[in-house]
């Protein structure tokens, strides 16, 4: 019998699981039962879709056996089972989805965040909270050989040949002092009802219980076997029969274990919202979708775990199909159960299946429509939703043209206006309702940090003129807004761009002359000319600004050029190198520094112009090409 080492930083990881990851040790039973259910799901699918498995009698069963004498708790299923290689891969490689990222993501006080488990494939190892030795005996369906995996959870495990009458898996936990309470039938039954009541297969609890005579005195013992869960597919029950607690309990019953479940949204946290639909007619199906209270940890990872399970006539088909809902709704958890898909539908052809396409389209419209209703009827709950999932909705604006109008009503933005709405969010429609009389555009400022954007000199004259500006601090905002087109006849204009200030109160640059054609402000003209001479090809142009009130200068980009923020984003995304974009420097003709620039000699004018450009770039979050030169010029001016 060969000894093997776990393939990860096992001592640290298992210590985290046992002492930090879980707030309630009872979670281990939920995890093991969920794994058993998933194993049965997989076998059920194969018995109707794969000729090799059709001869196997499918009689699903999950048994939990308490042995007080041996101090063991056994969780047994007759599902798909595992062979020797799968035992090593599934149980001998902890947190296969990325141990180092898992360790890095764990915050201080992670004990309360038991919903982390599913994302990293560590649910099984929670059993070591209550056991000092675990034996897993498994026989894969369609084979004769069985194997036992054994470990004390401290760094090593063994695999050896075993015997088992039928396919399936048995997990035998030798309980330690922490696990002694799970030798009591009441304790185990309570946990099973709490977490696994809606598992679709019967869970039988087996134990030896004291027997009492008519006088109440103990007279031996009796074996008690009883199904302790409802074993119903909750989504198939009429909504009129269900209470809020039923929906919440069902949501919690999905642990997000490695081979199934609802990922990082399971655990002890109630969902934010749910949507239960039964469609009848040409295509019949049932859906139950949940909106989590918190965003899954893998929301912005390319290898995110899908949150929706597909069933056909209650037969589990897949929980790993990213085409069931569009990518921007990847935070949605739940179930789709179709009456019209063939039971042997191939995962590879789901995307091209007409029935599945219809279900997907209808599901998206239902989810978006329900969220729109929520935004009107419960603004506090909707603000909580936006706080977690606003950005994915914005992705939908960019990618889902068919539902763009619905998404425009759902997405929210921050604003320079003082808003009383929860979270300080506003929609484009709400912005429009507050616009000044005669205002012809919706204005926004985009960049990487909300506080910096709110302090930007680009907003000074907009504030003075009482024009509201949307504050768009997420990287995706500029890409989305620039591609939207008009909203209800209103153009969306970025204040970061030249020409966006056309509604402001000052005269345009070309009108700053008197009737004889002479400049009204010759000092401003001189400042512009000296700055152009000093800066040369560092800038695309220098002009007098209409948008500045207090600051001496700002930078914008030409209307057809990508902004500084967009170029930085594309660089981070690893896209093709974008052409260099030179900024336009705008000067505040009334500012003392600009007046000083107009009167300065060439040497001092160069220092002033380059300092004005440098500080304007810094305010916009750009990097200086030569910080040392900037510092030297600033020092000379301060002297």
Are 195 and 255 part of one and the same domain? no
Q: In what order do the strands lie in the sheet with 308-312?
A: 273-279, 285-291, 333-338, 308-312, 315-318
Residue 69 lies in a domain: yes
CATH of the domain at 575: 1.20.120.790
Residue 443 lies in a domain: no
Q: Is 203's pLDDT higher than 70?
A: yes
Q: Which domain range does residue 311 map to?
A: 239-267+274-374
Q: Tell me what pLDDT residue 20 has.
A: 61
Q: Tell me what pLDDT residue 449 has.
A: 84
pLDDT digits (tens, 9 = 90+) for 421-435: 888 899 999 999 999
Mean pLDDT for the stretch of residues 472-491: 87
Residue with tokens 């809020």: 244
Comparing 527 with 50, the larger pLDDT belongs to: 527
* Cα–Cα dist 534/134, whole Å: 76
pLDDT category of residue 261 using cuts at 50, 70 and 90: very low
CB 138 within 8 A of CB 153: no
Q: Tell me what pLDDT residue 421 has.
A: 85
Strand partners, 207: 224
pLDDT category of residue 220 using cuts at 50, 70 and 90: confident
Q: What would the 3-class secondary structure string for 426-476 be?
A: ECHHHHHHHCCCCCCEEEEEECCCHHHHHCCHHHHHHHHCCCCEEEECCHH
pLDDT digits (tens, 9 = 90+) for 111-163: 333 333 333 356 788 898 899 999 999 999 999 999 999 998 887 889 999 99
In this structure, what token pair is assigned to residue 180? 């002694």
CB-based burial of residue 454 (10 Å sphere; 0-12 exposed, 13-18 middle, 19+ buried)? middle
Mean pLDDT for the stretch of residues 163-189: 95
Cα 120 to Cα 13, 93, 100, 124, 326, distances in angstroms = 11, 11, 10, 11, 23
Residue 582 lies in a domain: yes
70-74, 91-95, 261-265, range with the lowest pLDDT: 261-265
Comparing 352 with 526, the larger pLDDT belongs to: 526
User: Considering the chain, what is the average pLDDT of its residues?
Assistant: 84
pLDDT digits (tens, 9 = 90+) for 594-636: 999 999 899 999 999 999 999 999 988 888 889 999 999 999 9
pLDDT category of residue 260 using cuts at 50, 70 and 90: very low
* Cα–Cα dist 520/420, whole Å: 44
Are 206 and 252 part of one and the same domain? no
Number of domains in the chain: 3
pLDDT category of residue 268 using cuts at 50, 70 and 90: low
* Cα–Cα dist 469/461, whole Å: 11
In the three-class reduction of DSSP (H, G, I as helix; E, B as strand; rest coil), residue 323 is classed as coil
Residue 427 lies in a domain: no
Are 156 and 279 part of one and the same domain? no
Mean pLDDT for the stretch of residues 297-301: 89
CATH of the domain at 113: 3.30.565.10
**CA nearest neighbour of 423 among 471, 385, 368, 371:** 385
In the three-class reduction of DSSP (H, G, I as helix; E, B as strand; rest coil), residue 543 is classed as strand
CB-based burial of residue 509 (10 Å sphere; 0-12 exposed, 13-18 middle, 19+ buried)? middle
Q: Tell me what pLDDT residue 350 has.
A: 67
CB 114 within 8 A of CB 297: no
Are 28 and 115 part of one and the same domain? yes
Q: 481: part of which helix (H) or strand (E)?
A: helix 475-482
Q: Tell me what pLDDT residue 120 has.
A: 38
Q: Quick one: how far is CA 468 from the chain centroid?
A: 30
DSSP for 369-396 reads HHHHHHHHH-HHHHHHHHHHHHHHHHHH
What percentage of residues in the chain have a pLDDT greater than 90? 50
Residue 487 lies in a domain: no
pLDDT category of residue 254 using cuts at 50, 70 and 90: low
* Cα–Cα dist 580/495, whole Å: 20
Are 143 and 286 part of one and the same domain? no
Q: Is 353's pLDDT higher than 70?
A: yes
pLDDT category of residue 291 using cuts at 50, 70 and 90: very high
Q: What would the 3-class secondary structure string for 181-241 be?
A: HHHCHHHHHHHHHHHHCCCCCCEEEEEEEEEECCCCCEEEEEEEEEECCCCCCHHHCCHHH
CB 107 within 8 A of CB 18: no
* Cβ partners under 8 Å of residue 257, min gap 6: 31, 34, 35, 38, 117, 118, 121, 123, 124
CB 155 within 8 A of CB 140: no
Other residues' Cβ atoms within 10 Å of the Cβ of residue 195: 25
Highest mean pLDDT among 122-126, 507-511, 530-534: 530-534
* Cα–Cα dist 529/237, whole Å: 77
CB 293 within 8 A of CB 271: yes
CATH of the domain at 334: 3.30.230.80
Rg (CA), the chain: 32
Q: Tell me what pLDDT residue 223 has.
A: 92
Are 69 and 166 part of one and the same domain? yes
Comparing 167 with 104, the larger pLDDT belongs to: 167
Highest mean pLDDT among 77-81, 152-156, 517-521: 77-81
**CA nearest neighbour of 140 among 157, 160, 122, 164:** 164
Are 281 and 203 part of one and the same domain? no
* Cβ partners under 8 Å of residue 144, min gap 6: none
Are 307 and 177 part of one and the same domain? no
Are 174 and 244 part of one and the same domain? no
Of 356, 374, 392, the one marking the end of a domain is: 374
């Amino acid at each position: 019998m060969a000894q093997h080492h776990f393939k990860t930083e096992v001592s640290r990881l298992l210590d985290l699981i046992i002492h930090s990851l879980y707030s309630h040790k009872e979670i281990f039973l939920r995890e093991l039962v969920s794994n058993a259910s998933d194993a049965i799901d997989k076998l059920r699918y194969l018995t109707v879709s794969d000729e090799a498995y059709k001869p196997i009698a499918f009689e699903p069963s999950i048994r939990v056996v308490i042995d007080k004498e041996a101090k063991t708790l056994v969780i047994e299923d007759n599902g798909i089972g595992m062979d020797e290689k799968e035992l090593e891969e599934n149980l001998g490689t902890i947190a296969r989805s990325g141990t180092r990222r898992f360790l890095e993501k764990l915050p201080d006080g992670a004990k309360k965040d038991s919903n982390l488990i599913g994302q990293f494939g560590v649910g099984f190892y929670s059993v070591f909270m209550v056991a000092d030795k675990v034996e897993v005996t498994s026989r894969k369906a369609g084979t004769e050989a069985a194997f036992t995996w054994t470990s004390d959870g401290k760094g090593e495990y063994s695999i050896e040949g075993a015997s088992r009458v039928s396919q399936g898996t048995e997990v035998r936990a030798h309980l330690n002092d922490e696990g002694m309470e799970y030798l009591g039938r009441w304790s185990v039954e309570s946990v099973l009802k709490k977490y696994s009541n809606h598992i679709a297969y019967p869970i039988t609890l087996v134990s030896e219980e004291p027997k009492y005579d008519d006088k109440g005195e103990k007279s031996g013992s009796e074996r008690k076997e009883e199904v302790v869960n409802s074993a119903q597919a909750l989504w198939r029950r009429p909504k009129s029969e269900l209470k809020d607690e039923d929906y919440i309990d069902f949501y919690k019953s999905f642990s997000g274990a490695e081979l199934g479940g609802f990922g990082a949204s399971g655990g002890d946290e109630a969902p934010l919202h749910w949507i239960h639909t039964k469609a009848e007619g040409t295509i019949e199906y049932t859906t139950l979708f949940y909106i989590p209270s918190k965003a899954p940890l893998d929301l912005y990872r390319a290898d995110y775990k899908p949150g929706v399970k597909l069933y056909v006539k209650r037969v589990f088909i897949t929980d790993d199909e990213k085409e069931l809902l569009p990518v921007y709704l990847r935070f949605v958890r739940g179930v789709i159960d179709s009456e019209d898909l063939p039971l042997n539908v191939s995962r590879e052809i789901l995307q091209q299946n007409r029935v599945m396409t219809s279900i997907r389209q209808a599901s998206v419209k239902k989810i978006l429509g329900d969220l729109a209703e929520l935004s009107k009827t419960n603004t506090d709950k909707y603000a909580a939703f936006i706080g977690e999932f606003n950005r994915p909705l914005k992705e939908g604006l960019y990618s889902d043209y068919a539902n763009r109008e619905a998404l425009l009503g759902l997405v929210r933005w921050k604003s320079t206006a003082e808003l009383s709405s929860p979270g300080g969010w506003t929609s484009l429609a709400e912005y429009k309702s507050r616009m000044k009389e005669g205002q012809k555009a919706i204005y926004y400022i985009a960049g990487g940090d909300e506080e910096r954007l709110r302090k930007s000199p680009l907003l000074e004259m907009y504030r003075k003129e009482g024009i509201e500006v949307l504050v768009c601090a997420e990287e995706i905002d500029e890409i989305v807004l620039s591609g939207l087109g008009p909203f209800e006849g209103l153009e969306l204009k970025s204040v970061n761009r030249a020409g966006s200030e056309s509604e402001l109160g000052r005269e345009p640059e070309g009108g700053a002359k008197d009737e004889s054609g002479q400049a009204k402000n010759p000092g401003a003209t001189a400042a512009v000319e000296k700055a152009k001479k000093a800066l040369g090809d560092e800038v695309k142009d220098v002009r007098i600004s209409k948008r500045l009130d207090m600051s001496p200068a700002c930078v914008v980009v030409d209307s057809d050029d990508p902004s500084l923020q967009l170029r930085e984003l594309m660089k981070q995304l690893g896209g093709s190198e974008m052409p260099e974009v030179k900024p336009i420097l705008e000067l505040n003709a009334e500012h003392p520094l600009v007046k000083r620039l107009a009167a300065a000699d060439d040497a001092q004018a160069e220092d002033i112009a380059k300092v004005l450009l440098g500080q304007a770039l810094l305010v916009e979050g750009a990097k200086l090409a030569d910080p040392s030169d900037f510092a030297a010029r600033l020092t000379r001016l301060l002297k």
